[in-house]
C-alpha cells in the first residue's frame, strides 16, 4: 500500500511501470525503495529545485537504511537554454568519476528539461541504466515524464537528439506545484488542454468549467487534471511506444511551437507557452479547412487565454521563418511538412492535406481575436 492518491500503469510488457500521483510523495520512502536497483543512486537536479526539494529526497533515501548505499548528486543550471549535450556530459562525468556501474539508478528531480537530460544520460550510460522520474512542474508531470522520450536540443532544432528510454516509475508529488511560478503553471496547462483537444472532448469541457480553480491549484481539481492527462498519455504510449502512428498526435501544436522556441532562443518562450500558441495556430488552420467550426475555434482560443497562455506567436515571426524551422521537424517526410490538426474537437489526425495558401493565411493572422 502506498501513499499515492492515484496509481496508473504504462503498459509496455516487461517494461511496464507505474505512475504514482499524490500529495507528500517525496517523503514516502518505500515508494522509492521498490524502484531503486543496486546500491548506487545519482540524483540529477538543477540549482532552483535543489534548494527546494533536494534535502527532502536525500533525507528520504537516508531513511531507507540500505547498507552501503552510495548517493551522489549533480546540480545543473536551470533553463531550457542548458538542454544540450554539453550539459548531459556533466552527468556522465559524475557517473564515471564516482564509478557508477550498470546497476545504478538515476533519479531525475525537476521539470521537463531535467527529466529529458537525465533520461538521455541514463539511456546512453553503459548502454542503458535505470532511472526514476520525479517531475516537479505541471508540464513535466502531465507530459514529459511519461512515455520514455529523452533527449536534448540542437541549435538547428528542438529535441532532435535523443532516445526512447522508459523510467522505472514516475512519482508525482502534487505539493511541488505550490512553489511553481504562475507562468510555469500556465505553461503546464497547455499540455493538459492538449489532451482534451486531441482525444477527450468531455475533459476539454471540464477544463473550461474549472480553469479558475486549476490556476488556484485547488487540490482535487489539479489532482484530477494530472490523473486524466497521464491516463490519456499512458494509453497512447502503450499503443505506440516508438511514435510510428498514434503517438504523433501528442505533438498537436508542437510543430508550430518548436519553430517559435528555436527562432526565439530556447528558454525565452517556455515550452508550454510555445505549444499554446502552436495549438491556437493548428486550430486556426483546422477551422480554415472546415474541420472545426468557428464556435469551436473560439472555445479553444478562450480557454488558452483564460489559462494565461499566449494567444499567438511572436510578432516578429513571419511565414518564411516558421516554414524554415518547420522543415527541420521529426514529422517531415520526403520534404513534406505534416501537421497534427483537428478533424473535430477531440479527434486529431496527422496530415499534409492542407493547402499552402491556407497555411500562409494562418501565419498571417488569426481568424478571430
List residues with catalytic annotation. 127, 149, 191, 233, 243, 247, 251, 254, 258, 271
Q: Quick one: cell of 363?
A: 501565419
Q: Quick one: cell of 71?
A: 548517493
- Which of left, alpha, beta for 154 (phi over 0: left; psi -120 to 50: alpha)? beta
The position carrying cell 526514476 is 132
Q: Which residues of 289-308 are buried (b: 16+ CB within 10 A; e: fewer)?
A: bebbeeebbebbbebbebbb
Distance in angstroms (rounded) separating the CA atoms of residues 356 and 347: 22
Q: Quick one: cell of 316?
A: 516578429
Tell me the CA distances in angstroms from 282 to 28, 211, 354, 356, 365, one per residue in order: 41, 21, 11, 14, 12
Calculate the CA 15 to chain-centre distance: 20
Distance in angstroms (rounded) separating the CA atoms of residues 325 and 156: 8
Smallest Cα–Cα separation from 117: which of 34, 185, 42?
Answer: 42
Q: Quick one: cell of 188?
A: 503546464
Distance in angstroms (rounded) separating the CA atoms of residues 119 and 145: 9
The position carrying cell 533519479 is 107
* Contacting residues for 223 by C-beta, under 8 A, at least 6 apart: 5, 6, 21, 22, 23, 174
Amino acid at each position: 500500500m502506498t501513499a499515492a492518491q492515484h496509481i496508473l500503469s504504462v503498459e509496455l510488457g516487461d517494461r511496464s511501470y507505474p505512475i504514482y500521483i499524490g500529495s507528500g510523495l517525496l517523503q514516502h520512502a518505500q515508494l522509492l525503495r521498490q524502484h531503486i536497483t543496486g546500491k548506487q543512486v545519482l540524483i540529477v537536479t538543477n540549482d532552483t529545485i535543489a534548494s527546494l526539494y533536494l534535502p527532502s529526497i536525500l533525507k528520504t533515501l537516508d531513511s531507507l537504511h540500505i547498507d552501503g548505499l552510495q548517493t551522489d548528486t549533480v546540480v545543473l543550471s536551470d533553463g531550457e537554454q542548458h538542454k544540450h549535450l554539453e550539459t548531459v556530459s556533466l552527468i556522465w562525468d559524475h557517473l564515471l568519476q564516482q564509478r557508477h556501474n550498470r546497476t545504478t539508478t538515476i533519479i531525475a528531480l525537476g521539470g521537463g528539461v531535467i527529466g529529458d537530460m537525465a533520461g538521455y544520460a541514463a539511456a546512453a550510460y553503459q548502454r542503458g541504466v535505470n532511472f526514476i522520474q520525479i517531475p516537479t512542474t505541471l508540464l513535466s508531470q502531465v507530459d514529459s515524464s511519461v512515455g520514455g522520450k529523452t533527449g536534448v536540443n540542437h541549435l538547428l532544432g528542438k529535441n532532435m537528439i535523443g532516445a526512447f528510454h522508459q523510467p522505472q516509475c514516475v512519482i508525482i508529488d502534487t505539493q511541488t506545484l505550490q512553489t511553481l511560478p504562475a507562468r510555469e503553471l500556465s505553461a503546464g496547462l497547455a499540455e493538459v488542454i492538449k489532451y482534451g483537444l486531441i482525444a477527450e472532448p468531455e475533459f476539454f469541457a471540464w477544463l473550461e468549467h474549472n480553469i479558475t480553480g486549476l490556476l488556484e491549484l485547488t487540490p482535487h481539481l489539479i489532482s484530477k487534471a494530472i490523473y486524466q492527462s497521464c491516463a490519456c498519455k499512458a494509453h497512447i504510449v502503450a499503443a505506440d511506444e516508438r511514435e510510428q502512428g498514434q503517438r504523433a498526435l501528442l505533438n498537436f501544436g508542437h510543430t508550430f511551437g518548436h519553430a517559435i522556441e528555436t527562432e526565439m532562443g530556447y528558454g525565452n518562450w517556455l515550452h508550454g507557452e510555445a505549444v499554446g500558441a502552436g495549438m491556437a495556430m493548428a486550430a486556426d488552420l483546422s477551422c480554415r479547412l472546415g474541420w472545426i467550426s468557428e464556435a469551436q475555434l473560439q472555445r479553444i482560443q478562450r480557454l488558452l487565454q483564460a489559462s494565461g497562455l499566449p494567444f499567438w506567436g511572436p510578432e516578429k515571426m513571419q511565414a518564411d521563418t516558421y516554414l524554415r524551422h518547420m522543415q527541420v521537424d521529426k514529422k517531415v517526410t520526403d520534404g513534406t511538412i505534416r501537421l497534427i490538426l483537428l478533424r473535430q474537437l477531440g479527434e486529431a489526425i496527422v496530415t499534409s492535406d492542407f493547402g499552402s495558401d491556407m497555411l500562409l493565411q494562418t501565419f498571417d493572422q488569426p481568424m478571430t481575436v
